[in-house]
Amino acid sequence: MKIAVVGPGAMGYLIAALLKTKAKEDVWLVDKRAERAKKLNDRGIFVEGSSGEFTAKVNVVSEAKEAGVCDLAVICVKSYSTEDACKDIKEMVGPKTSVLTLQNGVGNIQILNDHFGQERLIAGVTNHGATFLGVGRVRHAGKGDTVIGNADGKVLGMIRDVANILTKAGLETKISKDIQSVIWSKLVINVGINALTAVMRLHNGKLIEYPGTRELLRGAVHEAVKVTKRKRIRLNYDDPVQKVESVCKATAGNISSMLQDVLARKRTEIDFINGAIVRQGKALGIPTPVNEALTNLVKTIESSYEEAVKLPC
C-alpha cells in the first residue's frame, strides 16, 4: 500500500519508520520544509526505544505532487495545522484515498470531513509514546493500543486493511464502532495530564506525587467529565480520575507532547485539549475554571518564550 505520513514530528517519524521497516509498505513522509526534507531523505529516520534501534529510509517530499496519489494519508500534524495540511495534501488524495487522523484533541475530524468527506475519513487515537530527539531522530517511549473507526460506526473493507497494516507495523490496532467515545476518552486523559506537565515542567508520574498538582489534575478531569456527560458521550472507563492517575503511573517517565512543545519553545495544542473543554463548557453553560486557568497559563507561556526571566551567570 502507498502511504503518506503527514507531519514530521515525533509521532510522524515513528509511524513512518514502523510502516516502512516492520510492515514493508511504500511510505512517503511529507515535510513542508524542503531543506529538512532533503536531510531526512539522506539520513533516514533513526528510532530507539520500545521498538528497538534501527534506521528507516523513507521517501520524504516537501510537496504533495512529488509523491502523487496515495492509498492512505495518515495525518500526524499538530491540531492547529490540520486546516493547512488538508490544503497541502490535496494532490495526494484521489477518489479512493482514505484519510486517517491519529491526532490529539477534538476538532480535527470536522476539519478533515469538511475537506475530504466522511466516506473516506478514518478517525483514531494511539497511546504509543514518542519523544522527538532532533531532526530525523525519535524515541519510541512506550507502547499502547491504537484504536480506529469510521464516524458512522460502519466497519468496511478499507478500515480492516488499515488496522491490519498498523498492527503489522507494531502498532496493535483495534476497530471501534463508537470512535467518538474513544477520542473523548483520550481527551479527558490529556486534559488531566498535558497542560499541567507543560506548566510545571514535570514528567507525567510526578503530577500525582504533589498534593497541589494532584488536586488540579482532578479538578480539570471532573470538569471535562461534566462536559462529556452533558454531550451524552460514553467514556471507556468507570472512574475517570482513577484512570488518569493510573496513566500517570504507567507513563511516569514520559515527557508529554505538550511539555515537549514548551521545552522546544513551540506552539502547543492547548486550544484543542483543555481549551476545547472551556469552549464546550461555555456553550453548555458548564463552569470550567480549572481548565480555563490551565489554558491561560499555557497560552501565556507560549506568548512569553522570549521574555522568560533567566538568572545571570
Confirm whether 96 is a catalytic residue: no
Residue 41 burial (C-beta neighbours within 10 Å; 0-12, 13-18, 19+):
middle
Classify residue 234 by its DSSP letter: P
Catalytic residue among 177, 186, 243, 299: 186
DSSP state of 90: G
Q: End-to-end distance of the chain based on CA atoms, in angstroms?
A: 55
Which residue, 125, 86, 69, 66, is CA-closest to 6? Answer: 86
| φ, ψ for residue 173, nearest 5 deg | -125, 135
Q: Is 296 exposed, middle or buried (0-12, 13-18, 19+ CB in 10 A)?
A: middle
Give Cβ neighbours of residue 83 (< 8 Å, ≥ 6 apart).
111
> Grid coordinates representing 262?
514548551
Enumerate the active-site residues: 186
